[in-house]
Amino acid sequence: MKGGPGSAPDPIRTCFDACYRRLVGQLYGVCGDLGEAEEAVAEAFARAVDRRRAFERLDNPEAWLRTVAVNVARSRHRRRELGDRILRRTPPPPAEHRDGLSDDRMALVAALRRLPAGQREALALHYLADLPVREVAATLGVAEGTVKARLSRGRAALGALLDASGHDPGDRPGTPGENENGPQSDAVGGTHV
């Protein structure tokens, strides 16, 4: 559908213009890498195009896109991790550095990458994306109590990780040793709690 003189604007395009950047921002902490977040959100919009009729009936299309993007990111990670195991690949390289992202925040996101997926998703969406617990629960498809538990455990785990590694989240991401001993080197996925 293309907007033209006298025609209604494409609702998916309208949503894309309004929400794309915001969704990428919210997914950044979940994915641990800005490029992966961009890819997950673009795929969510592609799925909306694929299911245009149903998408246009949604009450809250942005929430749906966020959930789809989180699931896309999880799914891609699981497949990639499985492939890595089969092929005995080395851990993935550190996240791409992008202009506009402060070292300080990249370091925090890099630290989050070492957490189990459920904890990371909850911490990223609640603290870094500033979504209320209820909205995080809706996005992840879990109970609010589960989100609260993940937030609590996630904070504790993150603190323990940082203490054990001697890293401060203000350290540069991707410094040597980051992937060597961490309990999880994944960007998305891993063990849920």
Partner 1 sequence: MSDLDARLADDGGATASEAARAARVPSFDAVRARGDRRRIRRRAAALGAAALVVAGAVGVAQLLSGTIGAMPPPAQMPAPGHADGVRAVRTVPDGSWVRSVAAGAGAPSTLAVAWQGRSAMVVAVTADEFESRAVVAFPTTVDVTAAGDDGPFVVSPAFADDEGRGPWLLEVDGSVREVGLADEPGPAEAGEVAVAGVADGRQVLWAVDPGAGVGHPVSLPGEDEPLGLGAQSVAIGEGRISALVRSADSAGTRYAWSEDGGGEWSWTPAVPETVEAGVLTSLSMVPTGGSEPLVVLETDVVDNRLLSVHRWEPGGTTWATVDPVGDPVTVYPAAANASAGFVWEGELRIQGSRLGPDGTETETGVYVLDGDSLGRPHRSPTGSADSVGPRVVGFEDPGSGMPAVWLVDDTHPATLWRSMFGGGGWGSWPAR
Q: What are the residues binding partner 1 (CB under 8 A)?
A: 12-13, 16-17, 20-22, 24-26, 28-29, 34, 37-38, 42-43, 45-52, 54-55, 57-60, 63-64, 67-68, 71, 74, 78-79, 81-82, 85-86, 98-102, 105, 108-109, 118, 123, 127-130, 138, 141-143, 146, 155, 158-159, 162, 169, 192-193
Q: How far is the CB of 4 from partner 1 (least distance, A)?
A: 14
Tokens linked to 167: 């890293």
Q: How far is the CB of 191 from partner 1 (least distance, A)?
A: 9
DSSP letters spanning 82-134: HHHHHHTPPPPPPPPP-TTS-HHHHHHHHHHTTS-HHHHHHHIIIIIS---HH
How far is 55 from 49, CA to CA, in rounded Å?
8
If the CB atoms of residues 17 and 175 are measured against partner 1, the closer one turns out to be 17
Which of 61, 66, 12, 18 lies closest to 41 in space, CA to CA?
A: 66
Q: How far is the CB of 181 from partner 1 (least distance, A)?
A: 19
Residue 24 makes CB contacts below 8 A (sequence gap 6+) with 34, 37, 38, 41
If the CB atoms of residues 54 and 164 are measured against partner 1, the closer one turns out to be 54
If the CB atoms of residues 146 and 179 are measured against partner 1, the closer one turns out to be 146
Tokens linked to 135: 């909205």
Q: How far is the CB of 89 from partner 1 (least distance, A)?
A: 15
Q: How far is the CB of 179 from partner 1 (least distance, A)?
A: 20
Q: How far is the CB of 47 from partner 1 (least distance, A)?
A: 7
Buried b (16+ CB within 10 A) or exposed e, 137-169: bbbbebeeebbebbbebbeebbeebbeebebeb
If the CB atoms of residues 123 and 178 are measured against partner 1, the closer one turns out to be 123
DSSP 1: -
If the CB atoms of residues 99 and 180 are measured against partner 1, the closer one turns out to be 99
If the CB atoms of residues 71 and 179 are measured against partner 1, the closer one turns out to be 71
